Structure 1
Amino acid sequence: MKSFVALAAFAALSLPASAQARADLSPEATQAAVRYALPHLLSGVRATCAPKLSSTGYLATNGAALLARYSNGSEAAWPAARTALMALGADTDKSDMVEMFSKMPDSALKPFVDATISSMIATKIKPANCGDIERGLELLAPLPPENIAGIAGFLFDMTRRDKKTGSSQGG
């Protein structure tokens, strides 16, 4: 599950949590970004992990249906996800690139963002973690995609608050 949560965090437009904290995104903005990214996240997971996992395992037998569930409704999150992406990028050393992206029409930007998320996820996954990721996906599968994105937004907000207060202790 930890591996999947890390991937969900990475799915928030593939920028580090420190950038998310600097941009001070709301949990709702992060949630929208993750909700939009979920199908692309899963595509990247499947691309890397399918050859490493059992042909009778969860991803092999349910991956296509899960991808369809994650894809259904993802588009509705795009406007808020785009705003979050621009806010995150504006607070990095790549602000010139973000300015260029902000002028692109959605028809050009979305395919770029989609492919970037999928390919970055696929390259960041350690094949040794594929079994854990598959187990996490199976455990999360009954949840609606909005709840998964909401959990990611909640975790990001908690991380951001901990970083602001300098807290390294659990409650």
Structure 2
Amino acid sequence: MPDILRETGRVCAAQLPAASLIRRQSSALIDRYQIESDRAWPAARAAIVKLSDPAVDAMLDSEFARPLLTTLLVPQIVGRIATRDCGTIDRMVTLLQPLPPRNTAGIVVETLRYLKSQKSRSGDIAAVAMLLCPVETR
């Protein structure tokens, strides 16, 4: 997550004001996510081994494995960001900032599960968008 936040800030830099939370390459928010990321790595590593070939275990034991995985995965995730969505992403990160990283991760996972289930029911993500009220009408 800290690398995703940093890369999103880089991708969105031209779209957001300089004071934007997501544009900060170092902050208390990123520090908290880095600490949680470091703490979660052993469990994530074990899950990757479980989901793949046991031979991967020795490769993941290297100090280079995690940075390599991050280098491969972060661009895949952040590369899907449309710059027109940078403002929304910044607002979401700002709203989630006070939460502990574990809670934020849970919210993101549950939201993605929900959106996936709605998309599979309707066949179109636009139907999910109709469930949401614009901020101005609340």
TM-score by length of 2: 0.68
In the alignment, is the contact (CA less than 8 A) between 2:9 and 2:22 conserved in 1? yes
In the alignment, is the contact (CA less than 8 A) between 1:47 and 1:122 conserved in 2? no
Query: Within 5 Å, which residues of 2 pair with 1:51-90?
Result: 51-60=14-23, 64-88=27-51, 90=52
Give the unaligned 5+ runs of structure 2: 123-127, 129-138
Structure 2 counterpart of 1:168, which letter? R
1:168 aligned partner = 121
2:70 equivalent to 1:114: yes
The size of the alignment, in residue pairs, is 121
Secondary structure, aligned partner of 1:72: helix
Q: Which has the higher helix share?
A: 1
Shift of residue 80, structure 1, vs aligned partner: 1.7
2:62 equivalent to 1:103: no
Compare relative contact order (CA 8 Å, sep 6+) and give the higher one, 1 or 2. 1
Q: Deviations over 1:89-125 (max 9, x none)?
A: x4xxxxxxx6664430241211111222332233221
TM-score by length of 1: 0.57
1:138 aligned partner = 94
Choose the corresponding residue for 2:80, options 124, 129, 134: 124
Give the unaligned 5+ runs of structure 1: 1-37, 91-97
Q: Distance in 2 between matches of 1:109 and 1:66?
A: 24
Matched residues, percent identical? 31
